[in-house]
Each structure stands twice: as structure tokens, then as C-alpha cells.
Amino acid sequence: MRPGDPLLSAVVLSWNRRSDLERTLEHVCREVSSLRGEGDFARGEIVVVDNGSTDGSAGMVRARFPEVRVLALPANVGIEGLNAGLRAARGEILVLLDDDSYPLPGALGALVDAFRRDPGLGVAACRIDGPPGWWEAKWPWHRVEPGAEVPTFIGCGAGIRRAALERAGYFDAAFFLYQNELDLAARIVDAGYTVRYLPESRFVHAVSASNRTGLREEYYGLRNLLWIIWKDFPPAEAVWLALRVMAARAAYCVRRGDLRRLWAAARSVAAAAVRVGGIARRPLSRRARQTVRAYLDLWFPPLIPWARSRLRPLPWLGR
């Protein structure tokens, strides 16, 4: 860390959500300003990556928030835009935000304290409050002890130690969006750091209605998860886990009667298979693979018990 560099950098990735971004920056600027009274280690900066927006987002930020650094990209490059912001940021603690998420009072201070206390902490997986029915609301927060190791984090509110990120490598640009966090978390654990739940650092995900479709999430989320499995596990185990995940997603779509989502899942599997030969496999440590298995066991439990509990209510299967 060079003299004068901030300890903390809040990096916001944005695409065509001008009003959401404006609200987010109002919260983030207030929180970063509150850190500046805590001494030499409390300097902070805010970096906004405009991922090729066409709604005037970058101009709004420059006009309304002159203290914020703007990195305007010519096109939407997905998660690679966040990589660009992380590389441009100067802080030792990197806070990840979406344009529709923001920290609650005290969240950034809690992150600073956590990274100071634990030099082995690679990622602080913060508590995310989302609307009912959204992904964050489904996360089993009540089953996780504060400070416990967790398999992943939610990218709209998390802290990453720069040293851990640089050692593990940045987000995989090929993913574009979804499941980027699980992939990076496994590599950070493989690099010798931990990913821990930090509930005292709380963020709100307002979940903008703009630029959001369930089919896009189905396509990219499943495709990228299959790529992670293929990268991280021995071939025989990877095939079995991939079949388990695909069967679980198909059963979910059938149970809901959602044929459009089922078609998106099928397209996702095809896209994953087309590129699987070009994906570099990586020899992760057993501990790192266990973090991915923990995630899969949580969201895609072994098929037979899951099928028995979830599919039995279907009328054509009987009671």
C-alpha cells in the first residue's frame, strides 16, 4: 500500500440504471465519508464502472458526485467490467457493489475491523437484505454462525482483500455474469485464505426491475455452474455432479410448469458442452473443492432425497 492510497475502495458496477445508481451513490458516499474520522487507516474511495450505459449514467455521476472516480467502458463486457474497476481501485479492502445495492450504516466500518482482526480473511461475505422471494431472501442466514466459513458470497455486497484477489486471480471474464462469486471464492480458498460470513456488515439489494430477466439468470447461472464443476473436480466426479445439477434444474422447471425456463436450461447445458473442451481444468486443493461441494449440497442436494420430497406432490406421481 503506497502512502496516500485509500484503505478501502468501494467499486460499483453499473449498466443502464441511472436512478438506481444515483440512490446507491448517495448511500455509499455517506458511508465512506463516515470512515474518514477514524484515523490514517480510514481513507476511502469510490469507483463506478459504467459498463457501456446509454442512459447518461456516467454524466450523472460526474455532475452529482465529483468525488467519485468514473471508469466509462465503451460496451457492456459483463463481469470483466468489475475486473477493470478492481484493477483501477487503490484500496487494500475492495467492496463490491451493484448499482442497485448499498451499505447500511456501519457496514463499511465493520468490514475494515474484520480485515484488521484476521489477516487470513480473504472475503467477507456480508449479510444482504433483499426483497421477499428474491435470491438473498432464500439464503439460509439463520443456519450460519457469525464468522463461520461459507462456500461463497453475494457479489452485490462483499469485501475482498486485495492481496487475496491478486493471488487467486480476478473474476473469469468468460462467465459474463452469475456464479462468478463461487468460482472466485474457490480460488481464494485454494490460495490459502478464508471466506467468512460477516453479518454485522449489512447491505441492501433493492433489486431493480431494469435489465433483469429470470431466463437470463437460468441460462448463465446453470452454464457457469457446469463450467465450475468441470474446472474443479476430477472427471468422473464432475460428470456425476453435473448430472445431479442438471436433473435438479429440470425437475424444478417441470414442477413449476415453466417450459420457457426449461428451454433456457437446455440451451445453457448445450452452451456449456460446446465450450467444455476449451476450459482449462485446475488442480484445486481438496479444501477448495469442499467449498464448492458445500454450495452444491445446499442448493442442489443429492437427487433421490430431493426428488422424493419435491416431486411427490405432483398429481401424476400419486401420493
Domain borders along the chain are: 8-205, 214-317
Q: How far is CA 38 from CA 34, 44, 121, 291, in A?
A: 8, 11, 22, 35
- Look at residue 317 in the predicted model and tell me its pLDDT: 34
- Look at residue 1 in the predicted model and tell me its pLDDT: 58
Q: In sequence order, what are the residues at sequence separation of 6 or more whose Cβ sits closer than 8 angstroms to the Cβ of residue 46? A: 9, 10, 12, 25, 28, 29, 32, 65, 67, 68, 69
User: How is domain 8-205 classified at the architecture level of CATH?
Assistant: Alpha-Beta Complex (3.90)
Cell numbers that stand for 236 in this block: 468422473
For the entire predicted model, the pTM comes to: 0.89
- Look at residue 130 in the predicted model and tell me its pLDDT: 79
**Spatial separation of the C-alpha atoms in residues 152 and 315, rounded to whole Å:** 36
Q: Which residues pair with 229 in a beta bridge?
A: none
Sequence length of the chain is 319
Chain position carrying cell 456464479: 179
Q: In sequence order, what are the residues at sequence separation of 6 or more whose Cβ sits closer than 8 angstroms to the Cβ of residue 62? A: 70
Stretch (H or E) spanning 73? strand 69-73
pLDDT by 10s per residue, the chain, length 319: 565 567 899 999 999 999 999 999 999 999 998 886 544 444 799 999 999 999 999 999 999 999 999 999 999 999 999 999 999 999 999 999 999 999 999 999 999 999 999 999 999 999 998 776 665 556 676 688 999 999 999 999 999 999 999 999 999 999 999 999 999 999 999 999 999 999 999 999 987 665 556 688 899 999 999 999 999 999 899 999 999 999 999 998 999 999 999 999 999 999 999 887 777 788 789 999 999 999 998 888 876 555 545 544 444 333 3
